[in-house]
Amino acid sequence: MTPHSLAFYVDFVTTGTLLGVGPADSPGHVTKALGSDFAENTFGDRSMCRDYGLAEFYWDRASADHPWSGHHCTLQVHRLAYRDRTLVNDALRARYGRFTPRLRFEKLQRLLVRRGVTLLEIPEVPVNAPHFRTFWQPDSHVAVSVIGTYGEYSTPDNLRVGDVYSIQAPMAAGEVEWRRARVG
């Protein structure tokens, strides 16, 4: 279909899932799909993050005796600019092949349009504007963050304007409306 990792990004933006697991899945289910090679950070006994290099999954819970509840998943695409092969999980590489160090938003958007998938630009939170731009896919609730302009903090990791910085799922419709209401 598409070369290298482009199919992976198209799949994630259209479905909000990664190898069949999504942000709401349990830590065990994510481990079953992605393997046990991750760094785990807990913040007290109520929040946890598993970092798989490219992908991070976040959970929270009401207390230590409650089960983990999936909060969100973020693809840290900008990390690939370091050209560290260990950032791409073996399961992802086996399914999608080689990952390029940068993802151009124009290319991703063009492939999505061919599939009939639209991305809507939504207002950026003030602390990130104008350095970043955010695009939202309303069906999958996936948000794509793109480098919007050059600046001291806007071109990290040797990225260029128009490169995808990260992709997150989910971004609820309520947050999109909140952002739109702020810019009025």
The proportion of the chain whose per-residue pLDDT surpasses 90, expressed as a percent, equals 74
The pTM of this model reads: 0.93
Identify the domain containing residue 86 by its residue range.
Answer: 6-183
Burial of 94 (0-12, 13-18, 19+ CB in 10 A): exposed
Cβ contact 57:76 at 8 Å: no
How many structural domains compose the chain? 1
**Confidence class for position 34, pLDDT limits 50, 70, 90:** very high
In a domain, 45, yes or no: yes
In a domain, 99, yes or no: yes
In a domain, 94, yes or no: yes
Q: Select from 20, 29, 91, 24 the least CA-distant residue to 54.
A: 91
Tokens of 100: 């390029």
In a domain, 133, yes or no: yes
Q: In what order do the strands lie in the sheet with 120-122?
A: 39-43, 47-51, 55-60, 69-75, 164-169, 142-147, 132-137, 120-122
In a domain, 1, yes or no: no
In a domain, 139, yes or no: yes
The answer, yes or no, to whether residue 173 has pLDDT greater than 70, is yes
Q: What is the pLDDT of residue 4?
A: 65
Distances (CA, A) of 66 to 28, 43, 71: 15, 15, 15
